[in-house]
Structure 1
Amino acid sequence: MAWTRKILRVNLTQGSCVSEALNMEWAAQYLGQRGLASRYLVSEIDPKVDPLSPENKIIYATGPLTGTMASTGGRYSVVTKGPLTGVIACSNSGGFFGAELKFAGWDMIIVEGKAPTPVYLHIENERAELLPADDLWGTTVWSTEATLKKRHQDPLLRVSSIGRAGENQVLFAAIVNDLHRAAGRSGVGAVMGSKNLKAIAVRGTRGVGNIADAKAFMAAATAGKKVLAENAVTGQGLPTYGTQVLMNVINEMGALPTRNHRDVEFEGARKISAEAMHEKRASDGRAHLVTNQACFGCTIACGRISRIDETHFSVETKPEYWGANGGLEYEAAWALGSANGVDDLEALQFANLLCNEDGMDPISFGATVGAVMELYDLGILSKEEIGLEAPFGSAEALCRLAEMTARGEGFGKILGQGSKRVCAKYGKPELSMTVKGQEFPAYDGRALQGMGLAYATSNRGACHLRGYMVSSEVFGIPVKTDPRETAGKPEMLKAFQDATAVVDSSGLCVFTTFAWTMNDIQPQIQAACEGEWSQESLLQMGERIWNLERDFNLAAGITGKDDTLPPRLLNEPCKTGGSKGMVAEIGKMLPEYYSLRGWTPDGVPTAATRSRLGL
């Protein structure tokens, strides 16, 4: 069965925690996690609801493979209407919290209403209660986790919480679990903060004992682990260098967005790369990188544990940051570094620690700083308005702005609204590098045409993980495509998007797909879950999820006109590198993409498509 068949419904307004049966008809159509939680959300809220109002809901969801022996089977998702974008938000996180929730006997938590005063949710197996969190309000994620473990006298308690960013309604606030793992994008932390919910603390001791065919599942999971171990990316590259392995690769391709996408090559990329993290510092003879780290059940272990230089200006009087802590991932290193022209590795690590500690998405934060630095460069923003000098390349400005935003101080309150609102406020909306209000990740859509289309069509705003065309355009997985060409990209992107929706709904990590195909994933789902789960039915399920999300966004007021990129990417050619002279050719690809999806020329799913998918 793989599911626990139980949902915990928490009404914060009433202060109630009630168990209810999982809708197994929906589980058969949407599997779990991203798909199933989205199905619940669209059935329970008005798509036009204010994301920060009590009428919005926030759903924590596991997948059927969460907590099992499947490699990377530790994922959970947070689904809500996102305040940064106004569209459906689904943020995925690893660590150990998701598996613990499953061990406690729950597939999902649906949180609704708003508590009159700050609270946290404590779950111990089937027992759930809301407890006062007044003393936790105003504290960081790290402090919250330590306090709750001590309070409940349980070092194995798993905590998912918001920091001050979520409390202060930073629109890109994250929900952080296990200190350094996050449901990071789209502002899910701000929704949690708007409900006066500080944290969810879970302890589960029941395990997962309801696999449909245990012997077949063990065989499929073991075979899957062997494939991961023997693959160059999942068995060697990611364990050794983490996602940061991409920094020099993308830069050398001329696809690394730099200084708010003004450029596509960063002269300082080498200084903030994975290789730099391995080198010993002159100051103390130690490497920045201490070791790698794995989430629950993961055999890849791409996480980083780093030690900041104690003599660096950002921490020389802050010994609390001197020890080993969560290290830089590629997206964070890009957003805090190249996007702002900052090549100081220690400054990037400090800003990243603040994002973890106070619950902020480092991608949106860093990209918004890039927009602010361009506004400063153009003379639109002054030192007096920001409170400091903020030229491109300033490590000092990056670190100070991180502190100001996390704490809600001064200009940090404005920066916390994201680049779309900041740039509109100062009369330069075209300088916001966003789609549907969400900031770009670390790939230029002019240099990688497929990624440009992925950004434009993503249901949660600009996102690399909804259809990771980098796999094909950079790594040649599953086939090598020319990043500069548009032909064939719509078909491949649709396939990636549908397959990713399956992975996101299963409880597995999308990084497995560097090595795994549906030939590896389908047997694990089939053995774990009751019913028939063919590759064809799974991919149709992925397509169903994609169209469900699209329908919600259309009802929320987002149309095909929003499937586009900023003017800079459409009109300003790349200046250097292999992509020199190129712009994003969205207009060439979008009509074919809509047709392949079974949508009208305006981007609306047709009646026939809805009927075929059972929507």
Structure 2
Amino acid sequence: MAWAGKVLRVNLTAGTCTSEPLNMEWAHLYLGSRGLATKYLVEEIDAKVDPLSPENKIIWATGPLTGTMASTGGRYTVVTKGPLTGAIACSNSGGYWGAELKFAGWDMVIFEGRSPMPVYLHIENDTARLLDASALWGLSVWETEPAIQKMHQDPLTRVSCIGRAGENQVLFAAVINDLHRAAGRSGVGAVMGSKNLKAIAVRGTLGVSTVRDPKAFMAATKAAKKVLADNAVTGEGLPKFGTQVLMNVINEMGALPTRNHRDVEFSEASQIGAEAMHEPRKSDGKPNLVTNQACFGCTIACGRISKIDETHFSVKNRPEYWGASGGLEYEAAWALGAANGVGDLEALTYANFLCNEQGMDPISFGATIGAVMELFEMGVIKREEIGFDAPFGSADALVRLAEMTAQGEGFGKMIGLGSKRLCEHYGHPELSMSVKGQEFPAYDSRGIQGMGLTYATSNRGACHLRSYTVASEVLGIPVKTDPLTTDGKPELVKAFQDATAAFDSAGICIFTSFAWTLADVAPQLQAAIGEEFDVENLNLIGERIWNMERDFNNRAGFTSKDDKLPPRLVSEPAKTGPAKGLVNGLARMLPEYYNVRGWDTDGRLTQATRERLGL
């Protein structure tokens, strides 16, 4: 079967590594990756545990399609209780690390306790050892990965690690693999740092266990790859422009959050979008974009590799930043750019490089800067506190604040708390554009109504990847719905949430869902692991996972009162664009959503729902 059938349990307190069989009953109910790792977590920790305490656990997990010939089968997830939100945290990453763990013969790695000293885990097939990481502590991601490869004299060793942000407990610290692929959201890197765990280095040469029906699997994956290739988004738009293709599209429909959501259109959007990345610079005649890049097994190749203008103020006389590395994707370009009113593409690329180098979520970081700049312009945050002026539109302030946060210095320590805590500290909690403490991504929910419900009900705090109604409301996938109305959005959001949970748990990229439905995923899973994984069962698995996450959050203390949006989005109408005069209609959508979900009026699972889903 495509499951490896083994779990590696690492007790950091005792310094032990132990193999145990995968719980196959759970695997059939929760599939893998996000779903299965969350099942292990919620069964093993107290929902009220302090996320940064030794009692919290953190899990790296693959799905049954990870490491196989299924397109985009390189995904893995990091699951824990998140320090940014206090809710369930599950961050997904691509690159090559996930496949390598599977090649070493493991489905997941569970870390518990806290090491008394910095360590890293080295896995080589069946052998797993905790090794001293004292020499690695304090190094960036870009320094840590090659250092480990050199120590083990193997450039093919794949590394998942933290930089200084994780070590310094930045609450939106990310886990980075392959230098610029990130399990980015909810502060999973801070949990890793709290356990004195610097990295997981993996070298696997065993390959994936035999799939259930190899001929059927080859046929199913071939057919699915053709669907991706023939689709306008996955076959043309994403390979050429990456997710940045959305910058001008979302701006033109008046749903690009600008200057901390004060506005919904950014006049300089065209200067930081996909087309701008392709245009030759005046300084050297070269474009910001060097090439696109694919993760393991991916036939889409949406990743961006960029190179900064060597004469730009951010990197002038700093050759360590002149090489090509992970470039801007849409969410990062928005958060670092429009959210702060900054239209300098090279400055955004540099700030993004820093997020990769030191392991920070660029969405939460950039959105927090938006709050800082608004508070600065209001006179609440003084120049003396920051050390320089930080008004909206200042590329210089963005760059300097990124450096300070990445290094954990000065005012950067306050930014590292995230916008919710920062805004509360300065007496203006309403200026944090977040849900459950996690900052919004790049879609204004006054112009895309379904995203308001998506944000408010997301189990890991504000997130677009848990229910990307933009696909329907903007791109018409799988059906076109009106972005300016609340009609039908509760059903739409639930359908996206359940399907996304199944995609994530299979070990494939959510971007395939621009072209695939579960009807394309089901034949691949059936050939790989079992005939029972038809569309109906996959929908049920996705719904079971969503409700399990919700139930954990309820036990952690979250209630219906936390399913809310900032006052700005429900009381301040959009000033311009197609959504002019509109606020988000969350109050109309939420009760209907609870009913569709089979929850009571307080947003809790009913007994009937528990019994139907086996929870």
TM-score, reference length from structure 1: 1.00
Q: Which whole-Å deviations, capped at 9, do the CAs of 1:378-415 have from their partners, x for residues lacking one? A: 00001101111100000000000011001110000010
Residue 20 of structure 1 aligns to a residue whose secondary structure is: strand
Counterpart secondary structure, 1:578: coil
Question: Which residue does 1:421 correspond to in 2?
Answer: 421
Q: Does 1:32 align with 2:71?
A: no
- Residue 441 of structure 1 corresponds to 441
What is the distance in 1 between the residues matched to 2:536 and 2:196?
43
Q: Give the AA of the match of 1:309.
A: D
Match in the other structure for 2:554: 554
1:19-66 superposed Cα distances (whole Å, 9 cap, x missing partner): 001000000100000000000000000000000000000000000000
Amino acid at match of 1:168: N
Cα deviation for residue 209 of structure 1 reads 3.0
TM-fit CA distance, 1:114: 0.3
SS at structure 2 position matched to 1:238: helix
Distance 2:220 2:209 in 1: 17
Q: Is the 8 A contact 2:4 2:209 kept in 1?
A: no
Deviation by residue 1:132-159 (Cα, 9 ceiling, x = unmatched): 0001001100100010011100010000
d(CA) in 2 for partners of 1:304, 1:204: 27
Q: Shift in Å at residue 530 of structure 1?
A: 2.9
Q: Distance in 1 between matches of 2:519 and 2:14?
A: 47
CA–CA separation in structure 1 for the residues paired with 2:287 and 2:221:
35
1:165-187 CA-to-partner distances (Å, cap 9, x unmatched) read 00000000000000000000000
CA distance in 1: counterparts of 2:388 and 2:409, whole angstroms? 13
Question: 2:384 maps to what in 1?
Answer: 384
Q: Which residue of 1 aligns with 2:598?
A: 598
Distance 2:421 2:387 in 1: 19
The range that moved more, 314-323 or 172-181, is 314-323
CA distance in 2, matches of 1:487, 1:323: 49
Offset at residue 101 of structure 1 (A)? 0.2
- Mapping 1:514-553, distance limit 5 Å: 514-553=514-553
What are the superposed Cα offsets for residues 277-300 of structure 1, whole Å, 9 maximum, x if unpaired? 000001001011110000000000
SS at match of 1:72: coil
Quote the Cα distance in structure 2 between the aligned partners of 1:576 and 1:383: 32
- Report if the CA contact (8 A) 1:305-1:326 is conserved: yes
Match of 2:458 in 1: 458
Structure 2 match to 1:393: 393
Q: Indicate the SS of the match to 1:199.
A: strand
**Corresponding residue SS for 2:10:** strand
Q: Residue in 2 aligned with 1:264?
A: 264
Q: How does 1:164-563 map to 2 (within 5 A)?
A: 164-563=164-563
- The answer on whether the counterparts of 2:498 and 2:543 sit within 8 Å (CA) in structure 1 is yes
- Partners of 2:231 and 2:97 lie apart in 1 by 28
2:15 equivalent to 1:15: yes
Partner residue of 2:82? 82
SS of 2:578 mapped into structure 1: helix
**In the alignment, residue 520 of structure 1 is paired with which amino acid?**
D
Once the two structures are TM-superposed, the CA of residue 519 in structure 1 deviates from its matched residue by: 1.5
Please report the RMSD computed on the Cα atoms of aligned residues, expressed in angstroms. Answer: 0.5
In structure 2, C-alpha distance between the alignment counterparts of 1:609 and 1:486, rounded to whole Å = 25
- Amino acid paired to 1:227: V
Amino acid at match of 2:504: D
Structure 1 CA distance, aligned partners of 2:74 and 2:486? 36
Answer yes or no: is the 8 Å Cα contact 1:96–1:178 preserved in 2. yes
Q: Contact conserved, 1:3 with 1:210, CA < 8 A, in 2?
A: no
Partner of 1:571: 571
CA distance in 2, matches of 1:168, 1:318: 24
CA distance in 2, matches of 1:558, 1:603: 10
Which position in structure 2 is the counterpart of 1:584? Answer: 584
Letter in 2 for 1:248: N
**Local SS of the residue matching 2:19:** strand
Displacement after TM superposition at 1:82 (Å): 0.1
Q: C-alpha separation between the residues in 2 aligned to 1:325 and 1:532?
A: 42
String of CA shifts for 1:426-453, please: whole Å, max 9, x gaps. 0000000000000000000111000110
Q: Does 1:138 align with 2:148?
A: no
Alpha-carbon contact 1:52-1:191 (below 8 Å) kept: yes
Give deviations 1:255-314, integer Å, cap 9, x for gaps.
Answer: 000000000000010000100000000100101111000000000000001110000000
CA drift of 1:210 comes to: 1.9
Q: Normalized against structure 2, the TM-score is what?
A: 1.00
Partner SS state of residue 403, structure 2: helix
Count of aligned pairs: 615
Aligned 8 A contact 2:119 2:198 in 1 = yes
Q: Aligned partners of 2:12, 2:259: CA distance in 1, in Å? A: 43
Range that drifts further, 292-301 or 380-389:
380-389
Distance in 2, Cα, partners of 1:511 & 1:479? 16
Contact 1:446–1:584 at 8 Å: present in 2 too? yes
Structure 2 SS opposite 1:240:
helix
What's the counterpart of residue 163 of structure 1?
163
Partner Cα distance (1:502, 1:422) in 2: 35
CA displacement at 1:534 relative to structure 2: 1.6
Aligned partners of 2:518, 2:136: CA distance in 1, in Å? 44
* Contact 1:234 1:512 survives alignment (8 Å): yes
Following the alignment from structure 1 to structure 2, what is the Cα–Cα distance between the partners of residues 127 and 465?
35
Mapping for residues 110-125 of structure 1, pairs under 5 Å: 110-125=110-125
- 1:531 deviation in Å? 4.8
State the alpha-carbon separation in 2 of the partners of residues 563 and 199 from structure 1. Answer: 35
Distance 1:514 1:226 in 2: 13
Q: CA deviation at 1:321?
A: 0.7
Aligned-partner Cα distance in 1 for 2:309–2:192: 34
Equivalent residues of 1:332, 1:363 under 8 A apart: yes
Contact 1:371 1:419 in 2 (8 A): yes
Please list, as runs of the form range in 1=range in 2, the aligned pairs for 1:49-64 lying within 5 A after superposition: 49-64=49-64
Deviation string for 1:549-569 (max 9, x for gaps)? 000000000011100100000
CA–CA separation in structure 1 for the residues paired with 2:389 and 2:16: 49
| 1:579 match: secondary structure | coil
Contact 1:61 1:109 survives alignment (8 Å):
yes
CA distance in 1, matches of 2:262, 2:96: 39
Question: SS at the partner of 1:367?
Answer: helix
Whether contact under 8 Å (1:175, 1:182) holds in the other structure is yes
Contact residue 13 and residue 114 of structure 1 kept, 8 A: yes
1:114-133 Cα shifts (integer Å, max 9, x gaps): 00000000000000000000
Range that drifts further, 530-539 or 29-38 = 530-539
Matched residues in 2 for 1:101 and 1:48: separation?
30
Contact 2:3/2:209, CA 8 A, preserved across alignment? no
Between the aligned partners of 1:313 and 1:289, the Cα distance in structure 2 is 19
**Alignment check: 8 A CA contact 1:47 1:553 kept:** yes
Query: Structure 1 CA distance, aligned partners of 2:530 and 2:114?
Result: 37
Matched, 1:148 2:118: no
Measure, in 1, the Cα distance between the counterparts of 2:41 and 2:210.
26
Structure 1: gaps of 5 or more residues:
none
Deviation at 1:533, TM superposition (A): 1.1
CA contact (8 A) 2:175 2:183 kept: yes
Partner of 2:129: 129
State how far apart, in whole Å, the 2-side matches of 1:534 and 1:282 are: 54
